[in-house]
Structure 1
């Protein structure tokens, strides 16, 4: 077994923790939407919910893949495993598929508010960052 002499910095651990918290919130959002919880229903108007409930299954699948693969990527970061990079790439691809639908195809996008449009930018940027970060850590020898 090879010992890794490249110790992760405090920034590494902060990014791993923030990434895990962010993606855990994504899992919570997915589960609330998929199971149409009361908490979820209270966040939207009836008109918005009508579009949300008619989201194509392939978009919901992309949502699930994005959040669950990214959580696994964060967990693998904690264990300093190169495999994190693969899960972040899968998550990034799924985020891009979901974002394409939500930003360009979704017939209910005219009902979006500032928060929805902000998330259309923030989520892909965060996914790109986590993939880049895991790739850099792997290249630097922090991930084995």
Structure 2
């Protein structure tokens, strides 16, 4: 049921924050793939080994997560229902990526529990919130 016909200012603020968040994820993806030499300059040998031992599919899933997140955010700003599907795909990809990172690598041994788990959990929760928000605004009729 359409409760509102026009989004509030809060909608636009959240949509812009969603885009900025997902663009930051894109920067992280680029720094761990295309620009990994620059990233490696900031890491020690143990940390570099952690990244070097990630399977190639991990980066594919990472790319899917950030691309669908950015596109979902853009479509949210354009008020398109397709944003919901893209945020769903992004959440699935983020979950696969982060669960693998937290539980199938030595990240806890390398970074410690708090540093290893905090950001992945924040990323999963943010992806879930963006999906739930996009579904909510679609139900309100703000997306077409």
One fold, TM greater than 0.5?
Answer: yes
State the secondary structure of the residue aligned to 1:13: helix
Work out the CA distance in 1 between the residues paired with 2:37 and 2:96: 27
1:20-31 paired onto structure 2 within 5 Å: 20-31=19-30
Greater relative CO, 1 or 2 (CA 8 Å, sep 6+):
2
Work out the CA distance in 1 between the residues paired with 2:132 and 2:58: 24
Residue number in structure 1 paired with 2:129: 129
Alignment pair present for 1:7 and 2:17 = no
Alignment CA distance shift 1:116-1:39 (3 Å): farther
Contact 2:107-2:116 within 8 A present in 1 as well: no
Q: What RMSD over aligned residues (CA atoms) do the two structures have, in Å?
A: 1.4
Alignment pair present for 1:117 and 2:96 = no
Please identify runs of 4+ aligned residues in structure 1 that moved more than 6 A.
Answer: none
Residue number in structure 2 paired with 1:55: 54
The normalised TM-score by structure 2 is: 0.91
Give 1:60 shift: 1.0
Work out the CA distance in 1 between the residues paired with 2:24 and 2:65: 12
Residue number in structure 2 paired with 1:140: 140
Give 1:38 shift: 4.1
Residue number in structure 2 paired with 1:100: 99
Residue number in structure 2 paired with 1:79: 78
The normalised TM-score by structure 1 is: 0.91
Alignment pair present for 1:46 and 2:45 = yes
Aligned length: 140
Is there any run of 5+ residues in structure 2 with no aligned partner, and where?
none
